[in-house]
């Protein structure tokens, strides 16, 4: 069961990261994207007051599973873990934090821009003819 949970949480985590980065691009997913971004902000900064800024409960749960599977020396960040497993040159934790926060805020800015500058479709125009 633990190996399945390890893979399952990893896949869900990657999909959520992709949704955070790309969800603003598609009109159908923009509302869900804003909700997801709000949840991430809550985890990173509200839960972060207790557990450290940038706290992710999904990473915490994933690391608990990995530790039970015997994996140790896990980094603070899931993104660093994925980077180090995927590329021959490791990345510093500080670089990961900077890139992660930058990508998040770029995506959030794009989402808010689309949310507040969206023009209604012709069939949604509130002015009568």
What's the whole-number average pLDDT of the chain? 91
Nearest C-alpha neighbor of 82 from the set 49, 58, 113, 50:
58
Q: Does residue 129 fall inside a structural domain? A: no
Residue 58 clears pLDDT 90, i.e. is over it? yes
Percentage of the chain beyond pLDDT 90 is 86
State the sign of the Cα–Cα–Cα–Cα dihedral 45, 51, 62, 91.
Answer: positive
Counted domains in the chain: 1
Structure tokens at 29: 């997913």
Q: How far apart are CA 95 and CA 33, in angstroms?
A: 25
Q: Does residue 79 fall inside a structural domain? A: yes
Q: Does residue 97 fall inside a structural domain? A: yes
Q: Does residue 82 fall inside a structural domain? A: yes
Tell me which residue range forms the domain holding 54: 2-124
Q: How far apart are CA 97 and CA 77, in angstroms?
A: 8
Q: How far apart are CA 40 and CA 38, in angstroms?
A: 5
Residue 115 clears pLDDT 60, i.e. is over it? yes
């Amino acid at each position: 069961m633990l190996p399945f949970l390890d893979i399952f949480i990893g896949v869900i985590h990657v999909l959520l990261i992709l949704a955070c980065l790309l969800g603003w691009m598609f009109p159908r997913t923009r509302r869900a994207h804003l909700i997801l971004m709000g949840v991430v902000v809550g985890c990173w900064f509200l839960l972060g007051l207790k557990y450290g800024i940038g706290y992710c409960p999904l990473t915490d749960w994933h690391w608990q599973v990995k530790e039970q599977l015997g994996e140790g020396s896990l980094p603070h960040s899931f993104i660093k873990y994925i980077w180090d497993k995927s590329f021959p040159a490791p990345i510093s934790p500080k670089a990961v934090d900077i890139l992660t926060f930058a990508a998040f805020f770029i995506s959030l800015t794009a989402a808010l821009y689309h949310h507040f500058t969206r023009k209604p479709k012709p069939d949604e125009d509130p002015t009568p003819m």
